[in-house]
Chains A and B, each alone.
Chain A
């Protein structure tokens, strides 16, 4: 009996853990990301972006020391994300919530940001509505409609009359489908068919054949990053769809660095739209990529840049408030902020607190030994179109 009680108490003591004293001179940032599971790589790359920014710019801002507390959310788990956000706020006394690779997690945590009046920076999750869930929230990544409406419009203007859309059957995929179709048809194109692919079952061959049967001029593809881009690239090639006779369009994931590596020459000619690629040709980006490679032994991707620019925003906002970490002050400081990122010029829309940036149109081309995304056109100053249409 006594023994059992001791056990219980011991356990609770373990639960309580070391509670670090709250130093006035510290700004704490709680970073919630998937470090394990299927989205682990996203979490790791994003976090490396955060780390690189802090390596380059030190951990002191406006006289305050920056401390980052990392939490693993393990995948799509909004209830865990919300709990972690709650705990970061009430237990660890963080001043800022950051990270958020996945939309459901960001949405759930945004409620905590709103309730606790904490500044929150979404560094990846790309569904349009996220920023509306908390008035203290800003985003430094991208939104799906931002890319795909710009792209749909561009594809129609480029002279393509008919497309078939093939997207993953989940939130971002449906967003991409809707945005692309909307803009493409508004600009005079015709969508001759569409198919939605289950997220979990990655043999694409049958879906690709359906697309081919519809005989469109072009195919628009959206699949999540990870194992699927390469798989769909190979399925396209094996079903005899090559950029030579059918134009292949997609959001940038399908020609991510590892997808291109495993697709090889099959990928040449695929046209994609995205806001960042490590091949982006600017001195600032070359420097960024070199530093990233030196620190982590690989190239940065969109997640890395989201984390990097997210920290940039946090640092700059803190400078502006003179180290005051109040949610309202920080978001006011962030609104309208403009800067040059390795991805190019970007800013935070003062009205929606969402990211405004350039969407690049790239074609996969042989560059030396390898295939890489080469930018050949761009659409500048793109805002998230969904929120522009929302009634104010």
Chain B
């Protein structure tokens, strides 16, 4: 447990005169549970997009374990163990959850470009997909079309798809967004129960959830890192109070 699981140095990104990330350096140790918080527009989702490759940084570097992945395509980063979920459901409406997760497993196994063998022939992949879905309590609905699933179930499917890639580092963009509080708690229990091999960074607005599930918290404001620390340090930090906690929670 020496090298951090994920590290960025000096990430910088701007659109014209609008700077969305400025000198962002974070470091997530193996197996950590980090929360990323900050007011709206602080650049949290942008940071995830930069790390996963959906956006290209203007400068800076991203390391996954020992390896620099800054120049890699998003799908290659996923193959190396960096997975994410989306704040707004980004699923396959007409596929069943079983099909979707099986596909993700096949992608990981490198067999998703096989067109001359039937899907049913890949029994291990199907079993693995079903197990993931069952472990997230959506095994019972996994034969329906995704569009027919309840919203909370779709949020779980987001996570299931990410897990199917067997990530080393998992970036969750407001996994409980739009889910009633009660269910949100269950969802985070599921996240907390993930294997400790997986390093997790999640964006969340609900401070109770943050303080309960995160070992450390990173605060962003205006595209910069403001402060990083344990839950209690953050809760006590004056600057954080000023820029963040002082305002309405979902403002």
Q: Are any A and B Cβ atoms less than 8 Å apart in their complex?
A: no
Interface residues of A (CB under 8 A from B): none
Taking Cβ atoms with an 8 Å cutoff, the residues of B that contact A are none
